[in-house]
Amino acid sequence: MRYIPNTSEDRQAMLNSLGYEKIEDLFQDIPEQVRKAAVFDVGQGMSEYELKKHVRALAEKNQTVDQCISFMGAGAYDHFIPSFVDQLLLRSEFYTAYTPYQPEISQGTLQAIFEYQSLICELTGMDASNASVYDGATATAEAANMAVAATRRNKILYSKGLHPEYAQTLKTYCWSQGFEVEEVDLEQGITSAGQAEEKLNKKDAACLIVQYPNFYGCVEDLEELAKKVQAQKALLIAVVTEPVALGILKSPGELGADIVAGEAQGFGNHIAFGGPYLGFLAANEKQIRRLPGRIVGKTRDVDGKVGYVLTLQAREQHIRREKASSNICSNQALCALAATMTMSALGKEGLREMAETNLQKAHYAYRQLTSLPQVKAVYPGQAFFNEFVIELPKPAGEVIEELRKEGIWPGVNLSVICEDLNKCLLVCVTELRTKDEIDRLAERLGGVL
């Protein structure tokens, strides 16, 4: 009877009213062979309290970032989330609703998405945003699709500074569509403008994908790359995994990006072992009708009142079927709502303040760490926001292991992601870290080297 109101008497009465005797009568249309086979076992049901004990025990087997001092980023950023966000997300009118197909009773979701789109446009400096896609990686892949459609070329160039998991996802998507993919190397931590130019000059590339700031923390010179891309009539796709950086960095739009794809988890969504996050996708005017997924527009009702609706649906799978710009249906609406609430709470000044605090703390940490004799800055002189790479005299894995015992997670081990960087650590410092914690990291890191 779990979560089922109808009692056995109700059910029997309903069956009888339909002329059936037993519930199995309703399954006669299933071939007997199939029915017979359909035995499965996921265990016995648990009462709510038993479930709670069981699941809590699982949760307690994990160590959280609150139980240590974490300097982990690499596409999953632990930023401050105002407490009210989760309480508002628990308003069931939001989270128990479906995609807002019936606008008259979905104005809450629709208006919030409209606000979300506006905020993303403000942040990225673009004209249009959709209502979210699954995550930054799939946003990147979708952006590549858009570029192919826009240019009718099917080679994708991407910088090696793109998050490795995004690059892998991109490759998977491109493989299945038969697009070619080529990597552009880094030079001193940023995309090699020379190599990019060379590859672009072949005029067969739909786009160049560059992460900003890139995976290794370095701020790319988007403007320069944009010029090279535009010269060859390709599109520049900027990928942002750490949107807080846009509180202080010039927007990709201003620098000439045609599409901005990225991950907005950093606003209002917990790191949550990798998901759910939310991919954002923004584009300039020309690409609007190539955007995948939901888009909300403003309109009026029969009485002239302002209202919001899903719009430009002729791009979507439920209308266009195999000709749709993407197959995406459900997106990450509630995560986008969390991001909307958080960006609203931060506001113009708060976002700037948050970005600056990240910048200051990360640079302080950089100074402290790189002043250790055994620690080497890997990309000295490159501008970075809240993440940077250091090289250690021994394998990063060992150092992580040792510091973990002292309650410090010093950063992401790059060797796991790129085999050749096995002594490198990607250190992220957000506004949540304190001076004391940074000092402690520096001191203990010095201690174990």
Residues near a copy of itself, by CB under 8 A: 48-49, 52, 56, 66, 80, 82-83, 87, 90-92, 432
Over the Cα atoms of the chain, what is R_g? 25
**Cα gap 7→199, rounded to integer Å:** 68
Nearer to other proteins, 104 or 198 (CB): 104
Beta carbon of residue 20, minimum distance to other proteins (angstroms, whole number): 8
Contact indicator for 429, 386 with CB cutoff of 8 Å: yes
- For ligand PLP, the binding residue among 16, 67, 168, 330 (CB under 6 A) is 330
**Angle (nearest 5°) at CA 186 between 185 and 189:** 165
- CA quadruple 56, 58, 59, 64: dihedral sign: positive
| Partner touching 314 among other proteins, ligand PLP, a copy of itself, none, CB below 5 to 8 Å by kind | other proteins
Contact indicator for 1, 7 with CB cutoff of 8 Å: yes
Beta carbon of residue 330, minimum distance to ligand PLP (angstroms, whole number): 3
Nearer to other proteins, 28 or 374 (CB): 28
x-marked contacts with ligand PLP along 201-220 as a string, rule CB under 6 A? --------------------
Nearer to other proteins, 87 or 420 (CB): 87
**Cα gap 81→65, rounded to integer Å:** 14
Nearer to other proteins, 91 or 203 (CB): 91
Contact indicator for 325, 296 with CB cutoff of 8 Å: no
Nearer to ligand PLP, 16 or 327 (CB): 327
Closest CA to 110 of 299, 245, 285, 378: 299
Taking CB under 6 A as the rule, does residue 319 contact ligand PLP?
no
Q: Parallel, antiparallel, or unpaired: how do β-strands 128-129 and 190-191 relate?
A: unpaired
Q: Which of residues 176-205 bind ligand PLP (CB under 6 A)?
A: none
Nearer to other proteins, 234 or 295 (CB): 295
Beta carbon of residue 352, minimum distance to ligand PLP (angstroms, whole number): 37
Beta carbon of residue 47, minimum distance to a copy of itself (angstroms, whole number): 8
Beta carbon of residue 324, minimum distance to ligand PLP (angstroms, whole number): 12
**Angle (nearest 5°) at CA 301 between 317 and 292:** 20
Nearer to other proteins, 230 or 317 (CB): 317
> What's the token pair of residue 293?
């997924």
DSSP letter for each residue of 117-167: HHHHHHHHT-SEE-S-BS-HHHHHHHHHHHHHHHHS--EEEEETTS-HHHH
Q: Which residues contact 84 (CB under 8 A, 6 or more apart)?
A: 341, 345
| Partner touching 149 among other proteins, ligand PLP, a copy of itself, none, CB below 5 to 8 Å by kind | none
| Partner touching 294 among a copy of itself, other proteins, ligand PLP, none, CB below 5 to 8 Å by kind | other proteins
Beta carbon of residue 201, minimum distance to other proteins (angstroms, whole number): 25
Beta carbon of residue 111, minimum distance to a copy of itself (angstroms, whole number): 19
Q: Specify burial of residue 36 (Cβ count, 10 A radius: 0-12, 13-18, 19+).
A: exposed
Q: Is 237 helix (H, G, I), strand (E, B) or coil?
A: strand
| Partner touching 7 among ligand PLP, other proteins, a copy of itself, none, CB below 5 to 8 Å by kind | other proteins
Beta carbon of residue 17, minimum distance to a copy of itself (angstroms, whole number): 25
Contact indicator for 342, 82 with CB cutoff of 8 Å: yes
Nearer to other proteins, 198 or 401 (CB): 401
Q: Residues in the site for ligand PLP, rule: CB under 6 A?
A: 329-330
